[in-house]
Structure 1
Amino acid sequence: MTNPFENRAPSLNGPATDLVPVTPSDSVDFADTAIALFIETGGTLSFVSVAGQSRTVTVGDGMIFPVGVSRVNATGTTATGIHAFTVA
């Protein structure tokens, strides 16, 4: 099978190069900043944006959350099945 991404530079214009499961943490940032999140089961999402701002929002089931995120906090997050879109 050929790989159409083989000679392509990662880009914020997409597509993401990986979808990584997220373990919420109040102190550990992602190894690679997320360009968006996928939420399997909705609820409250507490996160730190790439702008360094702490935010809390309500998200729905199956939602793609198109915000740059450096960390999902454990405290205040009830949403589950969170995955980070990355371009690393």
Structure 2
Amino acid sequence: MADAMDDMMKHMDEMADSTLDELSSASGDEFDRKFLEMMIKHHAQAIATSELASSKAVHAELRELAAKMHSDQIEESEQLRSWHQQWGHAQD
């Protein structure tokens, strides 16, 4: 089980490095678009994770922090999506 978790974490680190490399090589409007897309995905994961923690965590302090994070991430995600659309990046 620990080996599978280690492999998953290594894969996630490699994906993050690749994404950062791609973002680092971008500039101008392309940078803004890629940053927004990266952060929208990141916030979606944070929202899902904080939902789990706010309902499953044993310690009340962690549940409370997760609930606040959930709220903050939703608000920030909405702002990112709004800019993405306003600036003509969104495909929706």
Fold match, TM over 0.5? Answer: no
The structure with the largest alpha-carbon Rg is 2
| TM-score for the superposition, normalised by structure 1 | 0.21
Q: Please identify which structure carries the higher strand content.
A: 1
| TM-score for the superposition, normalised by structure 2 | 0.21
